[in-house]
Structure 1
Amino acid sequence: MPTITTALASPEIWDDIQHTLSGGGDGRSCQCVWPVLTNKEWQTTDLDQRTALFRHEVLSDRPPGIVAYVDDEPAGWVRIGPRPAQRRLGRTRNIVATTQEPLDDDSVWAVSCFVVRKEYRGQGLNAALLDAAIAYARDSGARVIEGYPIDTAQTNVRVNDLFHGALSTFLAAGFREIRGPKPERPVVSLDVT
């Protein structure tokens, strides 16, 4: 059985984060800044600018996510942090229509992105990353954690679109489902107070 461990993002593991993001999907080109940029900002940035923005976040006093390791090899990533800092979320119609929390509340944290390298998929990394994200948010004073997964029972989905996470992973971690205008895209919520 492989050993899965996790670590908060930090400058010391920048290379591990980059290795994780380059293992398939859109992680390398996105640099996990899609949730923090508006559409206009996203369309006017290039890879170097996105990398610089992401590096600035990793250097900050509030790490933007967590890396998962399989037998000490960087294998997965999750973005977790206060929802208002992830500006795209407050501009996404489905989230705005479905959430039961004020959009400007810093005590509401959001899990907005998962990346797992191709060779490590199917090993439970998203569940391990989500567990670590819950602990980090709780320890950092979050009141509620939201996620925006895809209900894979409701729709066929491309692997690249699973960066939102699967509904089943969130439900298994104790999140409650809030249905909105898009049945295949519920909001999930976990009270961590």
Structure 2
Amino acid sequence: MVSTPLVSSGGLVVHPATHARFDDVRTMVGPKNPTSNVCWCLSHRIPAKDNRELAGPDRGAYVEALTRKRTKPGVLAYDGDEVVGWAAVAPRAELPFARSTKIPHVDDQPAWSVWCIRVRPGHRGRGISHVLLDGAVAYAAQRGAPVVEGYPVHNEGRKVDLTMAYVGTRKLFEDAGFEMAATTEATSAGFPRVVMRRGV
């Protein structure tokens, strides 16, 4: 799989989640038990009813089909040949966020959303989330996005439960050049979520 990385930093590279990289997508977001009805990073990608009804192996098949589309479902971070991170990124108009009553639309620009950032256990604390976020922005820009949004927690330095940390923190987004654009009525892990934005 020879391709030009979206981002290269500190020995890490970020690539779009193409079909050729589907096994790495599975490593990052597929459940240990393939018959499980969880994750595959679908909870904010498809309507809640569809997410509940999509069961077992069909969930993986749905994501595999996404990797075959022209616009890929996210980006992957690598340390050498080893996949170490995932970030979901897509046009907000194609996501349930488009109809959210809790997370406001800032303006009429066709924003892209980054809503899930995951780093593999054993690789945390190396700045991989920062590289992933830069890669997600680079991919959105490559696909014509004028602006990218995230909906992280405003935790003010307090510890966020690891199971809910995938939404990111306000500081993570600020460090990547995002600015706070709006408050929301949404919460995660007991913390308020905010709309962070960055033009591309």
TM-score (norm 2): 0.83
> What amino acid does structure 2 have at the position aligned with 1:191?
G
Deviations 1:43-74 (A, max 9, x none): 22213222111111111111111100123211
The 2-side partners of 1:168 and 1:184 are apart by 14
SS at 1:163 equivalent:
helix
Residue 89 in structure 1 maps to residue 92 in structure 2? no
The 1-side partners of 2:31 and 2:49 are apart by 27
Question: Which residue, out of 38, 53, 77, partners 1:68?
Answer: 77
Q: Which residue of 2 aligns with 1:176?
A: 179
Question: Which residue, out of 28, 32, 35, partners 1:20?
Answer: 28
Deviations 1:22-58 (A, max 9, x none): 599xxx9311122221121122221322211111111
SS at 1:123 equivalent:
coil
**Is 2:30–2:39's contact at 8 Å kept on the other side of the alignment?**
no
- Assess, with a 3 A threshold, how the Cα gap between structure 1 residues 181 and 115 changes in structure 2: closer, same or farther: closer
The 1-side partners of 2:124 and 2:13 are apart by 15
Point out the structure with the larger strand share. Answer: 2
SS at 2:192 equivalent:
coil
Q: Which residue of 2 aligns with 1:123?
A: 126
Q: Which residue of 2 aligns with 1:11?
A: 19
**Is 1:109–1:137's contact at 8 Å kept on the other side of the alignment?**
yes
Question: Which residue, out of 153, 167, 171, partners 1:150?
Answer: 153
- Assess, with a 3 A threshold, how the Cα gap between structure 1 residues 92 and 157 changes in structure 2: closer, same or farther: farther
The 1-side partners of 2:62 and 2:175 are apart by 33
Q: Which residue of 2 aligns with 1:50?
A: 59
Shift of 1:155: 5.8
The 1-side partners of 2:64 and 2:31 are apart by 18
Residue 78 in structure 1 maps to residue 87 in structure 2? yes
Q: Which residue of 1 aligns with 2:41?
A: 32
Shift of 1:21: 2.3
Identity of aligned residues (%): 28
Q: How many residue pairs end up in the alignment?
A: 183
The 2-side partners of 1:22 and 1:152 are apart by 28
Point out the structure with the larger helix share. Answer: 1
Shift of 1:92: 2.9
- Assess, with a 3 A threshold, how the Cα gap between structure 1 residues 47 and 114 changes in structure 2: closer, same or farther: farther
The 2-side partners of 1:191 and 1:61 are apart by 22
Give the alignment's Cα RMSD to 1 decimal. 2.3
Shift of 1:91: 3.3
Residue 114 in structure 1 maps to residue 117 in structure 2? yes
Shift of 1:20: 2.1
The 2-side partners of 1:4 and 1:125 are apart by 8
The 2-side partners of 1:8 and 1:147 are apart by 18
TM-score (norm 1): 0.85
Structure 2: unaligned runs, 5 residues or longer: 1-9, 186-190
Question: Which residue, out of 161, 165, 168, partners 2:168?
Answer: 165
> What amino acid does structure 1 have at the position aligned with 2:140?
A
Report which structure shows greater RCO (CA 8 Å, sep ≥6). Answer: 1
Structure 1: unaligned runs, 5 residues or longer: none
> What amino acid does structure 2 have at the position aligned with 1:143?
P
